[in-house]
Amino acid sequence: MNKKTIAYQGVRGAYSHLACNNVFPESNSIACESFQEAMSLVEKGEADLAMIPVENSTAGRVEEIYRLIPKMELNILDEHFEPVKHCLLGLKDSSISDIKYVSSHPQALAQCHVNITNRNIEAIAKFDTAGSAQELTSMRDKAHGAIASSLSAELYDLNILDDNFGDHHGNTTRFLILSKDMLIPEYDENESYITSLVFEVRDIPSSLYKALGGFATNGVNLIKLESYSVPGSMKATQFHIDIDGHISEKKLQLALEELKFFAKDMKQLGVYKRNPYRDVMKTFNK
């Protein structure tokens, strides 16, 4: 793949930055202060792609993203699953017994709560994981540590005191790779695909039940159904669905025809290959 410019939310060393490096090792990554800024750079053509987290196996969905996606002028090009391995970081001359305080994003602290408690360490909430690592370099205090990625340790010249500090193994974040272009892969019966879209239902009785009925009658599997209120309205509800299938399959076309009859403002977000990591997660969760 040609060298890309890819935008992500966070500072250098964030898990989103690590995901960019793993998927596009030759890319130029751009750190952004917000998800909206990262997506906007792609919309304006100042970046080729955006790497955006949508859900985590431990913390759940990233609420803000599901509200931004319907407004964006971008398309889902692919999905990526990034295992999250929290590292306890300290200064170069520190040891794990020196750490009395540890800083990180509240979700990272929560995901390491048992280890933090068992070691009698005081947790300090910060804006993000990599930012905590960056701040650590200027503190020069061996009693302070940070929970962040291994990439943060490399970038900020820190010591990895524990490379598996999280309480739960298998912690994984799902990312969407967003592009300005709608690039739909050609259908191959030997491949598996996901079609993602958003819609509102019409204000009629049992509209959601009827809208989704076409998927059942045509034997189409829904992988995900997310609902959230439309901003500025206490009544309108928007739905995000990930469908197991390719838009060119006849059974999916029939299901979408029925959906259109009961839904409004339907928007196709993307058609992309189903990531094989989904099968790994199934095996892990058995």
At 258, phi and psi to the nearest 5? Answer: -70, -40
* Residues marked as catalytic: 173, 175
Rounded Cα distance, 264 and 203, in Å: 10
125 domain-assigned: yes
Question: What tokens does 210 get?
Answer: 């009827």
pLDDT band at residue 253 using 50, 70 and 90 as cut-offs: very high
71 and 51: one domain? yes
Supply the pLDDT for residue 156: 96
Q: What percent of the chain has pLDDT over 90?
A: 75
Interior CA angle at 130 toward 37 and 8, to 5°?
A: 25
Residues 6+ apart with CB under 8 A from 226: 61, 66, 239, 240, 241
Report yes or no on 187 lying in a domain. Answer: no
CATH number of the structural domain spanning residue 257: 3.30.70.260
User: Is 167 inside a domain boundary?
Assistant: no
CATH code: domain of residue 17:
3.40.190.10
25 and 103 both lie in a single domain? no
Q: What span, in angstroms and rounded, lies between the C-alpha atoms of 81 and 16? A: 11
* Residues in a beta bridge with 162: 88
Instruction: Assign 50 a pLDDT band (cuts: 50, 70, 90).
Output: very high
pLDDT digits 0-9 by tens, 58-106: 878 888 888 898 888 999 999 999 999 999 999 999 999 999 999 999 9
Number of structural domains the chain divides into: 3
Q: Same structural domain for residues 214 and 278?
A: yes
Question: Per mean pLDDT, which range of 74-78, 184-188, 198-202, 273-277 is the poorest?
Answer: 198-202
Q: What is the DSSP string of 64-119?
A: HHHHHGGG-S-EEEEEEEEE---EEEE-TT--GGG--EEEE-HHHHHHTHHHHHHT
**What pTM did the predictor assign?**
0.90
Report pLDDT for 1: 45
pLDDT at 3 over 80: no
Q: pLDDT band for 2, please (50, 70, 90 cuts).
A: low
User: Which residue range forms the structural domain that includes residue 150?
Assistant: 87-162
Give residue 270's region: left, alpha or beta (phi > 0; psi -120 to 50).
Answer: left
